[in-house]
Amino acid sequence: MPDLSQITCIEDLRVIAQSRVPRMFYDYADSGAWTEGTYRANEADFHKIKLRQRVAVNMEGRSTRSTMIGQEVAMPVAIAPTGLTGMQHADGEILGARAAKAFGVPFTLSTMSICSLEDIAESTDRHPFWFQLYVMRDREFIERLIERAKAANVSALQLTLDLQILGQRHKDIKNGLTAPPKPTLKNLINLATKPRWCLGMLGTKRRSFGNIVGHAKGVGDLSSLSSWTAEQFDPALSWADVEWIKKLWGGPLILKGIMDVEDARLAASSGADALIVSNHGGRQLDGAPSSIEALPAIAEAVGTEIEVWMDGGIRSGQDVLKARALGARGTLIGRSFLYALGAFGEAGVTRALQIIQKELDITMAFCGRTQIDEVDSSILLPGTF
């Protein structure tokens, strides 16, 4: 394990990841749709929210431990599902799952991961993890994917609702994003500056979409994958499909991509266990509000009918605390996780979780609280949220 004691914030990890990860994959993680206005707002809107500092309060016996859908967690943070994670660092999903297991937070594997469901189960001794599902036109593939998730000891299914069609991300088009990268002159020149990444990739067999290649009909090699995914995301997704998947899965169900009070009420009435206030990291509808801005009204609307979580823009423990104060039972980190992974692999992910937990713990104490489950909007300065 490298000594990462001088890495003190997520921004440190982002800078190092930018230097180590090939441009197309760094840009894939660090970008949003169209003008990227919503992507930037996700992070910036946290800074507008101010905390009430309290003094002469007994700060002993602090704990960040909580639960997310009944599962005990070291802090109310889970690793979000991110596509192409194994292109940020060789075997990236495996490394992230190992770090999450050791730290005591949930890990979510994406449908569009490089490492497969079976890879994660095997590499973590079948430790429970979460799986994120995209709804495809090929319903037989979805049925098989859910059965594979059950066999891999997945403990909760995260159904993403906000990617029926793909938002345009200018950087991905300009970079010619593929997994693995095509051997163009531009890519080869860039890869020559990333020897650490290249060596890692030479040492693994996992370089394409492990949940899809060899499992979906008509996808036996890399050349057919891009056309398959373009054709398969289902624009006709409806609440009836949510009900179908809920019955097919039979376990805890989380609905990701809720940004509107009306949709939140529908999510609560669907019988799902949790919803995630999320604008897909600003990668879908540019011009939508930030997740933290949308959170309070949604949390108020559904009350205790369904557990409310949020993701988007979390770069610190203070962000986690603010989200918790505004009604989020749990939070998810995507880019913070990817920066850490791209910078230092598994050790980087562990360091990111340490940074977030320490900042959450200390900030909570300064706000006069010792238990994360006691935090509410009274820790925030009125008029700033």
198 to 191, 195, 201: CA distances (angstroms): 7, 5, 5
Respond yes or no: is residue 215 known to be catalytic: no
Query: DSSP secondary structure string, 269-330?
Result: HTT-SEEEE--GGGTS-TTSPPHHHHHHHHHHHHTTSSEEEEESS--SHHHHHHHHHTT-SE
Q: Which residues are within 8 A (CB) of 34 and not within 5 positions of it... i.e. 6 or more apart?
A: 167, 168, 170, 286, 287
Q: Report the candidate in 354, 348, 337 with the shortest Cα–Cα distance to residue 84.
A: 337
Whole-angstrom distance, CA of residue 29 vs CA of residue 92: 13
Whole-angstrom distance, CA of residue 234 vs CA of residue 265: 23
Q: How many CA atoms does the CB half-sphere of 363 hold within 13 Å?
A: 22
Conformational region of residue 226, where left means phi above 0, alpha means psi within -120 to 50, and beta covers everything else: alpha
Q: Which residues are within 8 A (CB) of 207 and not within 5 positions of it... i.e. 6 or more apart?
A: 86, 114, 179, 180, 201
Q: Report the candidate in 130, 91, 90, 135 with the shortest Cα–Cα distance to residue 108.
A: 130
Whole-angstrom distance, CA of residue 99 vs CA of residue 303: 33
* Inter-residue contact 10 to 316 (CB < 8 Å): yes
Catalytic residue from among 47, 127, 170, 280: 280
* Inter-residue contact 326 to 72 (CB < 8 Å): no
Tell me the catalytic residues. Answer: 280
